[in-house]
């Protein structure tokens, strides 16, 4: 091992682009000495012009957004999977000549013996009205990524599924009122299908967490008013499912926003579980109150 040159140790580095300028600054990526005139501020430290140029080329060559969404650690994968499932199942509704629709739609009068319909109906859409699917998927595309990035994948999926359950319970509430009043207040509610309950749960959660998320809800209110008013002008819309989903989403949003701190994780799990358990208990109460209706 040769001895170090003491003069070399004390020699001041010079900018690799301006050899007459002494500098102690170095590029964070390649380590080359660069003077202040050649430095570009990066997230950490500074970079030289060549490294900045290479980074820009890399950004231009990166994968499409849909591919990046499924990369590990990305925050929108659940949203795109849900959209894909809804579209694929809509295709299966047609491929099975609507046998799948018959097997999965929410038939309130067999909900006691076929409880899975409370969830499966949320993945079906009106076979002869494709705007039903398009509107729900557009709303999921708008609200899903924002909420999934804010909540994380597991909490977002729980919000979606419990919201779908809340939408189905909203429809069953209308059936319960009809049964308890012997049809005095309304005619017998029909079956229902669609992701609207789950989508309205996303809207309810955004409304509850608007301050924490920094979201302007004026446009959201406009969408809500239009959708709540539509049943008065267009028949065949199970608005009770919209209301049920929104209320459940709002409750879950309150749970999320009030248990954001890491030390409140257990309380958050308890709160989410309490909302889901409350819906299941309500379902059981309906079955017990009028078994002849639901079985």
Check whether residue 127 and residue 233 sit in a common domain.
yes
Same domain, 157 and 76: yes
Is position 294 within any domain? no
Q: Are residues 117 and 206 in the same domain?
A: yes
Question: 204 lies in a domain?
Answer: yes
Six token digits for residue 34:
């660069």
Q: Is residue 209 part of a domain?
A: yes
pLDDT at 35: 86
Half-sphere exposure of 213 (CA within 13 A, CB side): 22
Q: Are 25 and 35 in contact (CB under 8 A)?
A: yes
User: What are the Cα distances from residue 242, in Å, to 229, 246, 260?
Assistant: 11, 6, 27
Query: Are 51 and 118 contained in the same domain?
Result: no
Task: Give yes or no: residues 24 and 80 share one domain.
Answer: no
pLDDT of residue 57: 59
State residue 75's pLDDT score: 61
Contact 189, 108 (CB under 8 A): yes
Active site positions, annotated: 196, 242
Q: Give me the phi and psi of 5, to 5 degrees please.
A: -80, 115
**CA separation for the pair 226, 201 (Å, rounded):** 16
Partner residues linked to 33 by β-bridges: 26
* 42 and 28 Cβ atoms separated by less than 8 Å: yes
Q: Are residues 188 and 255 in the same domain?
A: yes
Contact call for residues 50 and 59 (beta carbons, < 8 A): no
Q: Do 34 and 141 belong together in one domain?
A: no
Q: Is residue 53 part of a domain?
A: yes
| Per-residue pLDDT, 289 | 96
Closest CA to 111 of 237, 289, 281, 293: 293
Q: Which two tokens stand for residue 61?
A: 């060559």
Whether residue 26 is found in the same domain as residue 157: no
- Statement to judge: residues 176 and 40 lie in one domain: no
Residue with tokens 């028949």: 235
Among 37, 60, 83, where does a domain finish? 60
Q: Is residue 46 part of a domain?
A: yes
Contact 137, 91 (CB under 8 A): no
Beta bridge pairs of residue 154: none
CATH number of the domain bearing residue 238: 1.20.1540.10
Cβ–Cβ under 8 Å, residues 259 and 274: no
Regarding whether 121 and 264 lie in a shared domain, the answer is yes
Range of the structural domain that residue 35 is part of: 6-60
**For each successive 10 residues of the chain (295 residues), what is the average pLDDT?**
43 80 78 84 74 67 51 71 98 97 97 97 95 93 91 96 98 96 88 96 94 78 76 78 96 95 92 98 97 96
Task: Please indicate, yes or no, whether residues 98 and 118 belong to a single structural domain of this protein.
Answer: yes
How big is the chain, counted in residues? 295
Integer Cα distance of 130 and 37 in angstroms: 59
Report the DSSP pairing between strands 46-47 and 40-41: antiparallel
Q: Which two tokens stand for residue 128?
A: 């002869």
Give yes or no: residues 21 and 75 share one domain: no
For the chain, what is the domain count?
2
């Amino acid at each position: 091992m040769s001895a170090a040159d003491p003069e070399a140790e004390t020699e001041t580095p010079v900018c690799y682009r301006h050899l007459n300028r002494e500098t102690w600054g170095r590029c964070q990526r390649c380590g080359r000495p660069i003077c202040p005139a050649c430095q570009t501020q990066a997230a950490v430290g500074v970079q030289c012009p060549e490294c900045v140029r290479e980074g820009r080329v890399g950004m231009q060559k990166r994968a499409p957004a849909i591919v990046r969404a499924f990369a590990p650690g990305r925050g929108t994968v659940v949203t795109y999977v849900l959209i894909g499932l809804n579209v694929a199942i809509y295709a299966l509704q047609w491929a099975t000549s609507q046998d799948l629709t018959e097997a999965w739609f929410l038939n309130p009068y067999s909900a006691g013996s076929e409880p899975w319909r409370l969830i499966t109906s949320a993945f079906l859409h009106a076979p002869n009205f494709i705007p039903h699917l398009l509107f729900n998927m557009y709303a999921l595309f708008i609200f899903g990524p924002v909420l999934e990035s804010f909540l994380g994948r597991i909490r977002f999926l729980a919000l979606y599924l419990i919201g779908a359950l809340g939408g189905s319970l909203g429809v069953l509430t209308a059936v319960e009122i009809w049964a308890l009043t012997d049809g005095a207040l309304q005619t017998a509610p029909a079956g229902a299908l669609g992701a609207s309950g789950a989508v309205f749960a996303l809207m309810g959660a955004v409304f509850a967490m608007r301050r924490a998320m920094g979201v302007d809800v004026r446009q959201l209110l406009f969408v809500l008013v239009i959708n709540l008013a539509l049943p008065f002008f267009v028949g065949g819309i199970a608005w009770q499912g919209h209301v049920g989903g929104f209320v459940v989403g709002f409750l879950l949003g309150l749970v999320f926003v009030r248990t954001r701190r890491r030390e409140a994780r257990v309380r958050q799990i308890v709160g989410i579980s309490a909302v889901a358990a409350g819906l299941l208990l309500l379902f059981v109460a309906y079955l017990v109150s009028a078994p002849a209706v639901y079985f």
